[in-house]
Amino acid sequence: MADHPSVQHGVVHSVQRHEKEFCVDTDSGKITARVVIDAAGKLSRFTRRRTVPQFGVQFYEEQSRGDCLDFWFFDGGYGGAVSVEGGRSNACFLINKDMVRKLGESRTEGYRVTGPVAYDRLPSEYIAIGDAAGMVDPFCGEGMRHALDTGIRAAAIVADGLAQSRDYDQIRHRYESNASQRWSRKRRLGRLIRAMLKHPHVLATGFRLHPEYWFRKLWD
Ligand SMILES: Cc1cc2nc3c(=O)[nH]c(=O)nc-3n(C[C@H](O)[C@H](O)[C@H](O)COP(=O)(O)OP(=O)(O)OC[C@H]3O[C@@H](n4cnc5c(N)ncnc54)[C@H](O)[C@@H]3O)c2cc1C
């Protein structure tokens, strides 16, 4: 009788590869697997990534901003705020490392900091999805879409690979080239905008002149 699939929850402490299988050590025991997908996010300890000295900051404001999406560029970062439920606004910023300390001096509570962020993954033997595969620039506002899309792609390619008895490295290569085809253009755009952030006034003027053009490019 075929084994029924089961879901186990818990923290993954380590993953070891032995020839044709992985040994996954979790706080609820060891699991043996033919395929491992790293979905542990931007701070994943499994897939190596090239970090940059930037941090994400999030906080809520008690006032609504109506129908507007406000966006700011400043020396050391950028970010925006938008109305959410309960008459509040959600504000998210990406700031350089040296600003994190200044933020701590001016605001003592009510905000969350995460990072350092990483946009590029380094070669590794895991199938990585979402932020574990390298963040899509938050400016694109597509991190969740990227996480869902790469997760769906990985699931389909792994299921097909197992059904066709492909080995793990073949499955991983198929996934990586498929995900890269879908996301490399967006990553290039993110890289361009990141480079332009060194000239915030030019960037802000460009957005003011042709907001629709840029937002179509970002959210195509
Ligand atoms: C400032 C900022 C603004 C953003 N704005 C937007 C936006 O407007 N729109 C948008 O779509 N995206 C936005 N994003 C990005 C978005 O939040 C992420 O891209 C998205 O959440 C990635 O999903 P994920 O599933 O890959 O990772 P996560 O959501 O980080 O999930 C990873 C999960 O893995 C768990 N985990 C980690 N290690 C282990 C372990 N060893 N064992 C077990 N579990 C583990 C973590 O606890 C976590 O629950 C923003 C990000 C930042 C920093």
192 pLDDT higher than 80: yes
Is the dihedral angle over the CA atoms 92, 98, 99, 100 positive or is it negative? positive
Phi/psi for 2 (5° steps) reads -70, 145
| pLDDT given at position 109 | 79
Q: Delimit the domains of the chain by residue range.
A: 34-49+119-218, 54-114
SS3 208: helix
Residue 150: band (very low, low, confident or very high) from pLDDT cuts 50, 70, 90: very high
CA of 19 to the centre of ligand 1 (A): 31
pLDDT in tens, 1-55: 446 668 888 899 999 999 889 999 999 899 999 999 999 998 898 999 999 999 9
pLDDT in tens, 57-113: 999 999 999 999 898 888 888 889 999 999 999 999 999 998 888 877 777 678 899
CA of 202 to the centre of ligand 1 (A): 30
pTM of the model: 0.87
* Ligand 1 atom nearest to CA at 129: 26
Pocket test for ligand 1, best of 144, 145, 152 (most atoms within 8 A of CB): 144
Residues β-bridged to residue 62: none
| pLDDT given at position 142 | 85
CA of 166 to the centre of ligand 1 (A): 30
CATH annotation of 34-49+119-218? 3.50.50.60
Mean pLDDT of 208-214: 80
Residue 88 CB partners (closer than 8 Å, separation 6+): 60, 61, 62, 63, 64
* The two three-digit tokens of residue 126, written as one number: 């895991």
| pLDDT given at position 4 | 66
Q: How far apart are CA 143 and CA 131, in angstroms?
A: 7
| pLDDT given at position 37 | 96
Judging by beta carbons within 10 Å of its beta carbon (0-12, 13-18, 19+), is residue 197 exposed, middle or buried?
Answer: buried
| pLDDT given at position 123 | 87
